Amino acid sequence: MIIDFDQRTPRERYIQTIQTLIPRPIAWVLSENENGSFNLAPFSFFTAVCADPALVMLSLGHKPDGNLKDTRTNLESRGHCVIHIPDRSMLEAMNASSATLDAGESEIDKLGLKLTDFDDFRLPRLADAKVAYGCSLYRIEEIGAGPQSLIFAEIQRLYIDDAILEPRDDDRIKVDTMKLDPVARLGANEYAFLHEVTHLRRPD
């Protein structure tokens, strides 16, 4: 099958892309609402883009009513977020947090999730998350007819649960991927988990 994107609507292009560009990591993003409560939302248009500075990128659409997503509004106003990598145990809560709530209403409170201090970072992190990035806003760009918001966030703090680290004889850090057990996003209402890891050295 060959699909000519010039002959497809934006919605059709979106659906056909997300069903083939798989698996995708999920960023479960905590940001601070104007009223001091915390917003929590998952995004699967998410990737690392640079190491110097250490940048990740989130691509956000709009709410169903056309307004900006709370994550973008909060980052523009307050400049920080915490990005978590959700694991299998968090799947249902993560999915539930994608529901559209009124501005200022907290998914943390609604879902009864626990927070904990994130060292000296200005925002807390989810207590049960095995990986969390404390980030500051680096840049926001708009692209496409939507427009889509491209949010570049700079990593300032990285939390890794000691329980998922592999022991090593040197000073390098190695995460046990199977112990992290991250959720991957597929198309439609589908998610996936890792069942096997293959090791293959890159050529010199």
Contacts 24+ apart (CB under 8 A), 66-70: 68/149, 69/41, 69/149, 70/31, 70/33, 70/39, 70/41, 70/103
- Closest of 107, 124, 106 to residue 115, by C-alpha: 124
Mean pLDDT to the nearest integer, 81-100: 97
Report how far residue 183's alpha carbon sits from residue 57's, in angstroms, rounded to the nearest whole number: 18
List pLDDT tens digits, range 102-160. 888 999 999 999 999 999 999 999 999 999 999 999 999 999 988 999 999 999 999 99
Percent of the chain with pLDDT over 90: 83
Report how far residue 100's alpha carbon sits from residue 198's, in angstroms, rounded to the nearest whole number: 38
Report how far residue 132's alpha carbon sits from residue 84's, in angstroms, rounded to the nearest whole number: 4
Mean pLDDT to the nearest integer, 38-56: 97
Report how far residue 160's alpha carbon sits from residue 129's, in angstroms, rounded to the nearest whole number: 9
- Ordered structural domains, the chain, with CATH: 24-192 (2.30.110.10)
pLDDT at residue number 67: 87
Identify whether the C-beta of residue 157 lies closer than 8 Å to the C-beta of residue 118. Answer: yes
